[in-house]
Amino acid sequence: MTAAPSPVDVLVIGAGIAGASVGYALARAGRRVRLLEREEHPGYHSTGRSAALFSETYGPLPVRRLSTASRPFLEAPPPGFADTPLLGPRGLMFLGEPGHEDAVEAFAAEARAGGAVVEVLDDAGLRDRVPILRPGVFSRAALEPEAMDLDVHSLHHGFLRGLKAAGGLVSTRAEAAAITRSGDLWHVETRAGARFAAPILVNAAGAWADEIAVLAGAAPLGLVPKRRTGIMLDPPLGLDVRRWPLTGDLTDQFYIKPEGGRLMLSPADATPVPPQDVQPEVLDIARAMDRFLSVTTLRVDTHGETWAGLRNFVADHDPVAGFAAEAPGFFWLAGQGGYGIQTAAALGRLAAALIQDQGVPPDIADLGLTADDLAPGRTGLRDGPAWAARLQDEARARAEAEAL
């Protein structure tokens, strides 16, 4: 067992986009920060498998507010943060089938009320944007022209690079095996035998966040990891897809997005799974291809590479950021769903402010977001005590099995 390094101000478990963004904000505020990452490379799971889009109309209200608050940073990051622009033109189009015209109009009206620019298109207009859509399948679309491609790699590594430049530390292959509270310090021992300590412990462990809570003796949130599948398709020669918007349907049956001259297709699946290095399932791939062929005029016999990622949700689908009432110094940063990349700049900054007892930053508060909206103790967050008890039982069973 290695000797414990000197305590830092904040230990962050997880170096994906959540951990990297809060660590960046804390380090730049002068706090001593160390990120503990279970994998060899940060961002291996959810962060590295994102659809990479920035939208101010996508997600529940707190997510949309955090996205709006993130936009200034993404448009003009600090000097040296990234070598290339973080945002690029794309657009986002949600499709409605015949009979769903009112739902499209309502979606557009709500988005406009929040300050987003949204156009409503008819059948001819939506097919003008994406010519392969089969005539008559969709009758209306809501188009957000200012939705943008987001360079996930540059954003994530910009946070990590900035954290290190400000004196922050990142330890990889540092999966937590034991977490205890002694005096005013949290102590984390990794499976490799390294030990770390800090008065504040930030749980940014993504799909594993509830397991970390159980290790630390905090009440889990009832976090549910959900699998989402991606498939690459090669368009026919001569078909230029590069300027098409990311396109999906309001009933969340599929979406397609141009990627480097190819198309990325997803069945928009959300299958609950245990925390894991998730892989695509044959049935999800088949469903995606069937849906794609039914709504487009393309005939595609084969597909390219496939993958899957995890999106992590609590019961009300809003992110969680705040201290646990039952565990002093234990801070939650979890449940970002599929919105963690586009909200990271604002959510990381907000979490850092709450950790430092500074309240919600004024620009975020001006959008109507409060600390109570994201608090781990908010009403309706946990999906009942039975779920939490089951998680605790499963974690204990795993720990007992590993001890044998």
- What is the pLDDT confidence band of residue 7, given thresholds at 50, 70 and 90? confident
Amino acid symbol at 20: A
210 and 194 inside one domain = yes
Q: What is the rounded CA–CA span in Å between residue 78 and residue 66?
A: 19
Tell me the pairing of strands 148-150 and 87-89. antiparallel
| Residue 385 clears pLDDT 80, i.e. is over it | no
User: b/e for 253-287, b at 16 or more Cβ within 10 A?
Assistant: bbbbbbbeebbbbbbbbeeeeebeebebbeebbeb
234 within some domain = yes
83 within some domain = no
308 and 241 inside one domain = yes
Give 142-160 pLDDT, tens digit per residue.
999 999 999 999 999 999 9
State the CATH number of the domain containing residue 28: 3.50.50.60
Give 110-143 pLDDT, tens digit per residue.
999 888 899 999 999 999 999 999 999 999 999 9
- What is the pLDDT confidence band of residue 391, given thresholds at 50, 70 and 90? very low
218 and 230 inside one domain = no
Q: What is the rounded CA–CA span in Å between residue 95 and residue 295?
A: 11
272 within some domain = yes
**Residue that terminates a domain, selected from 313, 339, 362:** 313
| Residue 318 clears pLDDT 50, i.e. is over it | yes
100 and 233 inside one domain = yes
Q: CB within 8 A of 321, min separation 6: which ones?
A: 331, 332, 333, 347, 350, 351, 354, 374, 375
230 and 374 inside one domain = no
Selection from 222, 176, 276 nearest residue 384 by Cα: 222
379 within some domain = yes
Helices and strands per DSSP (H, E), number in the chain: 11, 21
The pLDDT value given to residue 52: 84
Task: Return the structure tokens found at 84.
Answer: 């290339």
> Checking phi first, is residue 186 left (phi over 0); if not, alpha (psi -120 to 50) or beta?
beta
The pLDDT value given to residue 244: 97
Give 283-316 pLDDT, tens digit per residue.
999 999 999 999 999 988 778 899 898 889 999 9
Tell me the pairing of strands 195-198 and 185-190. antiparallel
Q: CB within 8 A of 228, min separation 6: which ones?
A: 266, 268, 269, 270, 308, 309, 310, 311, 338
What is the pLDDT averaged over residues 176-188? 96
299 and 372 inside one domain = no
Q: Out of 44-58, 183-197, 263-277, 339-353, which region has the weakest mean confidence (pLDDT)?
A: 44-58
Q: What is the rounded CA–CA span in Å between residue 96 and residue 123?
A: 10
Tell me the longest C-alpha to C-alpha distance in the chain.
68
| Residue 5 clears pLDDT 80, i.e. is over it | no
| Residue 219 clears pLDDT 80, i.e. is over it | yes
Q: From the CB of residue 380, how many other CB atoms can be counted at a distance below 10 Å?
A: 9
218 and 235 inside one domain = no
What is the distance of C-alpha 317 from the center of its chain? 12
Q: Out of 28-37, 307-316, 386-395, which region has the weakest mean confidence (pLDDT)?
A: 386-395
Q: How far apart are the first and last CA of the chain?
A: 20
343 and 288 inside one domain = no
180 and 219 inside one domain = yes
4 within some domain = no
State the CATH number of the domain containing residue 292: 3.30.9.10
Q: Compute the mean pLDDT over every residue in the chain, rounded to the nearest whole number.
A: 90
85 within some domain = no
| Residue 390 clears pLDDT 90, i.e. is over it | no
What is the pLDDT averaged over residues 395-403? 53
262 and 330 inside one domain = no
Q: From the CB of residue 114, how many other CB atoms can be counted at a distance below 10 Å?
A: 17
What is the distance of C-alpha 56 from the center of its chain? 15
DSSP for 203-247, written as a single string: E--GGGHHHHHHHHTPPP---EEEEEEEEEEPPPTT---TTPPEE
Q: Out of 15-24, 94-103, 208-217, 380-389, which region has the weakest mean confidence (pLDDT)?
A: 380-389
173 within some domain = yes
The pLDDT value given to residue 338: 86
The CA-CA-CA angle for residues 161, 165, 170, to 5°, reads: 60
| Residue 237 clears pLDDT 70, i.e. is over it | yes
| Residue 48 clears pLDDT 80, i.e. is over it | no
CA distances from 123 to 22, 25, 109, 146, 203 (A): 44, 45, 19, 21, 46
361 and 267 inside one domain = no
Phi, psi of 103, deg, nearest 5: -65, -40
160 and 253 inside one domain = no
Task: Return the structure tokens found at 355.
Answer: 């950790």
What is the pLDDT averaged over residues 242-249? 95
**Residue that terminates a domain, selected from 264, 287, 313:** 313
69 within some domain = no
Q: How many domains does the chain have?
A: 2
**Residue that terminates a domain, selected from 295, 313, 331:** 313
Share of the chain above pLDDT 90, in %: 78
Question: The domain containing residue 237 runs over which residues?
Answer: 92-145+224-313
| Residue 73 clears pLDDT 80, i.e. is over it | yes
Q: What is the rounded CA–CA span in Å between residue 187 and residue 140?
A: 55
The pLDDT value given to residue 299: 86
